[in-house]
Structure 1
Amino acid sequence: MKTRLAKISLFILTGIIITACDAVKRVPKDRRLLTQNEIIVNGKKEKNEEVGEQLYQKPNSSILGYRLRLNLYNMANPNPDSSYKARYIKNPAKYKRKAKWLSKKQVDRLGKSFYYYGWHNFLKKSGEAPVMVDEKSTKKSAARLKSYYFNKGFFDVKSDYKIDSVGHKRAQITYNITTGQPYVIDTISREILTPALDSLYETTASKSLIKSGNVFKSVDFDLERSRITNNFRNRGVFHFQPTYIRYKVDSLGATKKANVKMLIGDHSYRENDTTKTQPFKIYRISRVNVYSSGPHEKPDSKKTDSVFYNNVWLYSTGKLRYKPKAITDALIVLQDSLFADYKTRLTSRYLSNLRVFNYPTIQYTEDSTGTGLITNIYLSSRPKYSFGAGIDFTHSNIQDFGISGNTSVSIRNVFNGAETLEMSLRGNIGSSKDFANPDNSFFNVLEYGGDIKLSFPRIFPIRIDKIIPKTMIPSTSISAGFAKQENIGLDKENFTAAMTYNWTPKRFRSARLDLFNVQYVNNVNTGNYFNVYQSSYDVLNNIAQNYPVSPDYLDDDGNLTIAQGGANDFITDVESGALVVSPDDFKTVTNIEERRERLTENNLIFASSFSYSKTTKADLSDDTFHIFRAKVESAGNALSILARISKELDNQGKNNTILGVAYSQYIKTEFEFIKHFDMGVKKVLALRAFGGIAVPYGNSNSVPFSRSYFAGGSNDNRAWQSYGLGPGSSRTIYDFNEANMKLAFSAEYRFNVFGSFNSAFFVDAGNIWNVLDNITDERATFDGIQSLNDIAVGSGIGLRYDFNFFVVRFDIGFKTYNPADEKKRWFHDYNFANSVLNIGINYPF
């Protein structure tokens, strides 16, 4: 029965697809569907997408040659509402019968239901109407192609087109372009009427983008206008605009050369009904006024208080709420300085970065001298207090059901110096059938914590303006936090504290210095280790079945007990020699015990780090850019000095301690490079490379779990689950695999399917290894260039939906090369049964 139903469903689906695949279904008899555009330039087919973008008409979009959106559109009823009405006009008896049990109003409203109307409307919106050949648009496209090459310096370019029929109601268009030889720039001259501007131009004339011998390109002239305008407006020329720059071009047809003359006239302005001109002036800032208003006051409200501080007039309604220095320190626009656009931008950024004002308004007016500018800065205060709260319902591999909540409060301008104090509390209660539940309560999992953070809009507590000037918009944050788990894993208590400096050395660059970042992890319930790391327990228990283990170590089913300590006692007997096992089993047991000791010991990490990042991404629409990130972190050095001068060194074991806890000592460095290429028509090629290593030394022979690396997951190698890959080629027995070295590489080709739906093909490669630590397993360690054979490769496809403010992502990864597979590494598990589905928010890189 099921087989017959499947065949019937397949038959119906095939019929629907065949019907929809009639591409010209909605094309009128006297029209033709545009199937292809072909651009021939000087006898050769042009494949440059930038040239193709000049055309007004393009064929319907396709995926691997299949016009999905066109076929979706063809499946829709063009007029579902009219069809519904006609159905009952032709059969009034049917309408009458239906109205008896639904009412006439409900029958009429059925025409707007999803079944009759909504489904077809969805298909039309998701689909794409057939693109039909239009002679008028074709002529415009040919003219646009001609203009495109003309702007590239081909002044003698010619263009025409030909429309060919390629089947029933189908046609293609061929555009023929003959460019001729490009014109090159011969002589360059200039005429700048204002002498002061001519002098300013001369200082940067060598940076001109228009040079003798270059091919004439309109884009170079546009960029040169922008360069000159920025130069002038950043050096005091307040009234200058790009429209003042004109070019006179004389082409010499026989020689294919063009003489260029740049013309910059005087400043023109209107006085009453008359347009006048005068030489441009170079302006200085003669006065700076700052007007501040409260969160519920209008910016133009009457100001009743004023303060003069550091050559700045500050006005407010009532007493000024801020220390004058807090505001004046944020101003890059200063009295007696030259007017400059970049100073305006930096001032706006700095004031916004204070987080106590809404985005400021900065205006300039001429003073009575005619050569000075009065700067008026309008600040609107944000509310002093702001509150936030949230609640989530969760499901994870730890808990079957959970409710998490958080609440926060922000207090702005705490000490009247634009400081911000943030406090937050968070909690989670959950239910898990895997954890102990002696009281038989539904909620048997608990996690809670709190954080406090104080931010300063400057370097605190010392001033280092000569090293990090205020133009770099520096800030300082001091934070502390606490979190505790109950009946989760080892029931950790986590204490954190940090002091961080942030600044922007240049535009699109950022730097961060963690002067200190302290973390203390206290494992409260270490006896629960083998309940958490079940894979390690299973291996240990299987080994125990092969030897005469003490009955006291076993439960009624003959398995090692956990709560009663049977598993730990078995390990003690093996390591002490009280129970003799095979060499392989002995090595496995000792490895399990070494890992247990490392993951159950309390950690004290006192680290300092420096991070630097650079991006060329100009805005959200920029799809061709790169990002570089680097970080170096050092931990334990300060505590090492403290331990040496303290009495705690006396009578210690193999590790030095602070307050009874062995501190971690390591150095860690990371590098990441991301490159995006705009492939045109909503297509992007994204590449990523990452490398990181953490080397323990001194007081440590391994890196803390929280500072180690893992592989796999939705933002890494998507063919493996998080913590499921590596280390190296080892087929590890552990639940959470980690190591202290990592390499990761990814390539992703992203493209639009239709509307807000996007897709991607991706390849991920990488792995983790142990290096320079206490791990000796050859399969898990990095021993040189030959270890690169252990790089795992995953590939797959993804589907994404863009909500504009975030993207929901579904990626399915297949194991393409598995270094842990001893039989066949390539494509052995390349199937859906062994694939991994990843769900994520936003793009992986």
Structure 2
Amino acid sequence: MKKISTKISLFILIGIIISACNAEKRVPDGKQLLTSNQILVNGKKTNDEDVSNQLYQKPNSTLLGYRLRLNLYNLANLNPDSTYQAKFTNNPGKYERKAKWLSAKQVDRLGQSFWHHGIHDFLKKTGEAPVIIDSVKTQKSLSRLQYYYFNNGFFNVEANFEHDTLSLKRGRIKYNITTNKAYILDSIKTNISSPDLDSLYNNSKQNALIKSGNQYKTIDFSNEKNRIASYFRNHGAYYFQPTAVVFDIDTIGKKNKADVTINISDYSYQDKDSTKTESFKLYKISSVDIYTDYLPNTSKQNITDSISHQNFNIYSRGKLRYKPHAITDAIFITKGTSFADYKTVLTSRYLNNLKVFNAPSIQYEVDKKDTLHNSLIAKIYLTPRKKYSFGSSVDIMHSNIQDIGISFSPSLTIRNIFNGAETLEVSVRANIGSSRDLANPNNQFFNVSEYGVDFKLNFPRIFLPFPTEKIIPKSMIPSTLIGLGYATQRNIGLDKENFTGTFSYNWNPKRNNTARFDLFNIQYVRNLNSPNYFNVYGSSYDALNEIGKTYNTNPDYVDNNNNLKIESGTNGFINDVLTGVTNLPTNDFNEVKGIEERRVRLTENDFILATNFSFSKTTKTDLADNNFYLFKTKIESAGSLLSLIGNATNLKRNQNGNRELFNLEYSEYIKTEFDYIKHWDLNHERVIAVRSFFGIAIPFGNSDYIPFSRSYFSGGSNDNRAWQPYSLGPGSSGATNDFNEANMKIAISAEYRFKILGDLKGALFADAGNIWNVFDNVTDEKSTFKNFSSLKDIALGSGFGLRYDLNFFVVRFDFGFKTYNPAEETAKKWFRDYNFAHSVLNFGINYPF
């Protein structure tokens, strides 16, 4: 009853605060607060975002219908300095008394403190001043609406507005738009003076953006102008600019129709004091000159070395430090071909991608040796970066292993290491962190650590003994990466050493597509503290200990409290059960067997030799783009090559019947993943984001399970946020183990993101998914995916989040509530734990997807 009374009191208090706020507090007498805009087009209300964006004045923003920012602004004192001084003006003795207690200087500074000044600055900055109806701005809005519809083909648009008074200090504006009939494009003609351009236009007019029968739209004419200019400049018209395209639109004698004439005059240029005109020419490249160590801001280059390679002229101020092909492979501008803008862009992109030069300068000049004056010399100026560069970074991170971590990573980059524009990067990383979920006997805050070193050698080409230009042309910016890495972890699970090696090819099939093929991806994971298994995986120990208390007969296996000793007691009891020394009922025997199988799987060292291919495609144009999709897929095969070698060489088998290499049982499996993300921009910083994921890894041959490092888990800040990491699934098993994982995963998430005030954003979300075991050695029916009926075990979490945008990253807090829990009894699956007491708070950096 006390809790209910407290909640009622809280709601009443909030209601009093809200009702006490006067939205008209700072509305001057004789003025009105703009409460709403209404736009009627041909008598019907429109909510078109493009139309409403034409208005100069919009009402104050609201949060769930409440003008939060306006009321925050109204709470602020607009003149805190005057108010502070008035306290002493009205009571002179008060200043003297305060000055004796503090000092005159401190009393003056007190007026600039947060409580007297800063809080009001915060309220004004966070809040929003009242939007006062301004007739001048209203008239401008009306004019913009007319222009908007005029630019969309409604040349006879009629518009007016009405100012409705709702109360003494409140009003609204109603805009009435009558579009009348739109104008349609009729005949399309051309008047192109230069014969060469006339031929080019005829070759491309099927792609024209203005066509007979289309409604007139100004934007189409602007885009057509750019399309024509782009096409001409990519086919030799070096001097052509969009301004050379002029449209004549004739509506005389036409009823709602317009004739269009595309005019392209000859090229005009300034020659000393006179203006000259001539037909546009189509230029070819007569020479490509490359300056490999150009000094900006100086005319003295002192060229001492030069070489010609495949019709490229390469110059250097000293001895040439690059193999010729390393540079010419990055050049798309070639002798004898037509001038083309896109080749300039590709060349610049490729040269930047080499990471051995600063941004290149590409210039063209008319070849004076050509008597026809239709040839260009392409001059490419390259300024090398420093051969050695040092860098360092400090990161604060949050992951499924660490609640919080601090990482320091110094690095050294060596450029042009073999004179072929290769880069070698050596980086060292040191990370300390905190994890409350892991074994922490000393209860220290920073209780986990990781140290490592990585070597990455990048070749700006496909590194193979045969040419690949026909398969992966250089326009796809191919590269080869050779990487080696070593890392060691302490107080993270069983502690590990991790050795990795990669040999991969990367390229961009299209502008927003990326592809990667790992010819070899090697990982060796060595557990350093396997005897610590039952200390880390406490749930497995509790289950085993409970059975041991009932059936164990060997006093050497237990301590004074009759608990199994770790590790002698646990190992001894398991061995007695599996060898038949201790007889158990079938259910308990199977549970002990399952515990041991999982212990072996998670404590065995993993050796993985995999080949994989991954591909991604996105329509995202920049960081501000909130209307895009991203698709990623990956397929990986591990161990097949080793099995072929093992069969050919009769590689030895261990006691489990599996082959070993260097006394290591290698993993064999095939794995595939699909990830799709879609964002819809609803404007006003409102976004709907959806993500779907499916992944499955199937063991075969030398393995009957998937290594822990290649398995899936569910839960956490980037997954189903109503569950902690590793605490959901598999299936409806109820996450009975620590660090639950499986080899198949389904995940679907959706978010509605919106602005609250300033840089503070909010979100409502729902996450669905789970993990299952399939085609492996797990026999528990609750954990395995049998058929489509197992989809009933998909868990659902929902909740809300708060995000603060710091520009360089977003700090995120999400509150997840278990909405549908497949591990519960049928009557308790829905909304059983839907309360703050059982919610999960997730801390994250940046958006979850």
Aligned length: 840
The 2-side partners of 1:471 and 1:780 are apart by: 48
- Identify the residue that residue 269 of structure 1 maps to in structure 2: 269
1:479 equivalent to 2:479? Answer no
Q: 2:614 aligned to 595, 611, 615, which one?
A: 611
- Superposed, which structure 2 residues align to 1:268-347 within 5 Å? 268-293=268-293, 302-310=301-309, 311-347=311-347
**Matched AA of 2:634:** K
- Superposed, which structure 2 residues align to 1:177-576 within 5 Å? 177-251=177-251, 255-293=255-293, 302-310=301-309, 311-368=311-368, 369=370, 370-390=373-393, 405-428=408-431, 447-462=450-465, 463-563=467-567, 565-576=568-579
Deviation at 1:121, TM superposition (A): 0.5
Deviation at 1:320, TM superposition (A): 2.9
The 1-side partners of 2:139 and 2:433 are apart by: 67
Q: 1:394 to 1:238 in 2, by over 3 A?
A: closer
The 2-side partners of 1:752 and 1:527 are apart by: 51
Deviation at 1:305, TM superposition (A): 2.6
The 1-side partners of 2:226 and 2:782 are apart by: 58
Contact 2:814 2:843 in 1 (8 A): yes
Deviation at 1:404, TM superposition (A): 5.2
Contact 2:692 2:747 in 1 (8 A): yes
The 1-side partners of 2:298 and 2:611 are apart by: 44
Q: 1:303 to 1:678 in 2, by over 3 A?
A: farther
Q: 1:412 to 1:269 in 2, by over 3 A?
A: same
**Matched AA of 2:360:** P
Cα distance per residue 1:222-267 (max 9 Å; x no partner): 2222221211111111111222112212226764222222111122
Deviation at 1:377, TM superposition (A): 2.1
Contact 2:400 2:725 in 1 (8 A): no
Cα distance per residue 1:625-664 (max 9 Å; x no partner): 1111111111111101111123433676421111111111
Cα distance per residue 1:723-764 (max 9 Å; x no partner): 111111221311111111111111111111222111111111
Contact 1:246 1:263 in 2 (8 A): yes
Deviation at 1:403, TM superposition (A): 6.9
- Identify the residue that residue 703 of structure 1 maps to in structure 2: 706
The 1-side partners of 2:711 and 2:788 are apart by: 22
Question: How many percent identity over aligned positions?
Answer: 57
- Identify the residue that residue 146 of structure 2 maps to in structure 1: 146
The 2-side partners of 1:580 and 1:49 are apart by: 74
Deviation at 1:389, TM superposition (A): 3.6
Deviation at 1:7, TM superposition (A): 11
**Matched AA of 2:761:** N
**Matched AA of 1:568:** N
Cα distance per residue 1:326-384 (max 9 Å; x no partner): 11211112222211111111111111111111222222222324312222222222221
Deviation at 1:390, TM superposition (A): 4.8
Contact 2:654 2:660 in 1 (8 A): no
Q: 1:396 to 1:184 in 2, by over 3 A?
A: closer
Q: 1:11 to 1:686 in 2, by over 3 A?
A: closer
Q: 1:545 to 1:201 in 2, by over 3 A?
A: same
Runs of at least 5 residues in structure 1 that lack an aligned partner in the other structure: none
The 2-side partners of 1:168 and 1:543 are apart by: 80
Contact 2:686 2:753 in 1 (8 A): yes
Cα distance per residue 1:669-699 (max 9 Å; x no partner): 1111111111111111111111111111111
1:82 match: secondary structure? helix
1:546 match: secondary structure? helix
Contact 2:397 2:845 in 1 (8 A): no
Cα distance per residue 1:385-431 (max 9 Å; x no partner): 12234567889997899875433211111111111111122335679
**Matched AA of 2:525:** V
- TM score, norm. by length of structure 2: 0.94
Cα distance per residue 1:168-196 (max 9 Å; x no partner): 31111111111112222221111111111
Deviation at 1:136, TM superposition (A): 0.9
Cα distance per residue 1:754-776 (max 9 Å; x no partner): 22111111111111111222222
- Identify the residue that residue 113 of structure 1 maps to in structure 2: 113
Deviation at 1:283, TM superposition (A): 1.3
Contact 1:35 1:170 in 2 (8 A): yes
Cα distance per residue 1:594-648 (max 9 Å; x no partner): 1111111121111011111111112223221111111111111110111112343
- Superposed, which structure 2 residues align to 1:99-178 within 5 Å? 99-178=99-178
1:585 equivalent to 2:588? Answer yes
1:406 match: secondary structure? strand
Deviation at 1:548, TM superposition (A): 4.0
Q: 1:640 aligned to 634, 639, 643, which one?
A: 643
2:40 match: secondary structure? strand
**Matched AA of 2:475:** T
Contact 2:439 2:536 in 1 (8 A): no
**Matched AA of 1:482:** Y
Contact 2:389 2:414 in 1 (8 A): yes
Deviation at 1:500, TM superposition (A): 0.9
- Identify the residue that residue 833 of structure 2 maps to in structure 1: 829
The 1-side partners of 2:828 and 2:654 are apart by: 54
1:768 equivalent to 2:771? Answer yes
**Matched AA of 1:356:** V
- TM score, norm. by length of structure 1: 0.94
Deviation at 1:144, TM superposition (A): 1.1
Q: 1:430 to 1:722 in 2, by over 3 A?
A: closer
- Identify the residue that residue 40 of structure 1 maps to in structure 2: 40
**Matched AA of 1:562:** I
Cα distance per residue 1:472-522 (max 9 Å; x no partner): 111111011122234542232211111011111111111111011011112
Contact 1:292 1:299 in 2 (8 A): no
2:581 match: secondary structure? coil
- Identify the residue that residue 757 of structure 1 maps to in structure 2: 760
1:545 match: secondary structure? helix
**Matched AA of 2:224:** E
**Matched AA of 2:267:** H
The 2-side partners of 1:431 and 1:755 are apart by: 32
The 1-side partners of 2:445 and 2:25 are apart by: 59
Cα distance per residue 1:306-338 (max 9 Å; x no partner): 312323333333333322321121111222221
- Superposed, which structure 2 residues align to 1:58-77 within 5 Å? 58-77=58-77
Q: 1:398 to 1:342 in 2, by over 3 A?
A: closer
Q: Which moved more, 1:428-437 or 1:639-648?
A: 428-437
2:519 match: secondary structure? strand
**Matched AA of 2:167:** G
- Identify the residue that residue 596 of structure 1 maps to in structure 2: 599
Deviation at 1:80, TM superposition (A): 0.8
The 2-side partners of 1:386 and 1:524 are apart by: 36
The 2-side partners of 1:445 and 1:778 are apart by: 36
2:230 match: secondary structure? helix
The 2-side partners of 1:443 and 1:86 are apart by: 52
**Matched AA of 1:131:** V
RMSD: 2.7
Contact 1:305 1:320 in 2 (8 A): no
- Identify the residue that residue 620 of structure 1 maps to in structure 2: 623
**Matched AA of 2:430:** G
**Matched AA of 1:574:** V
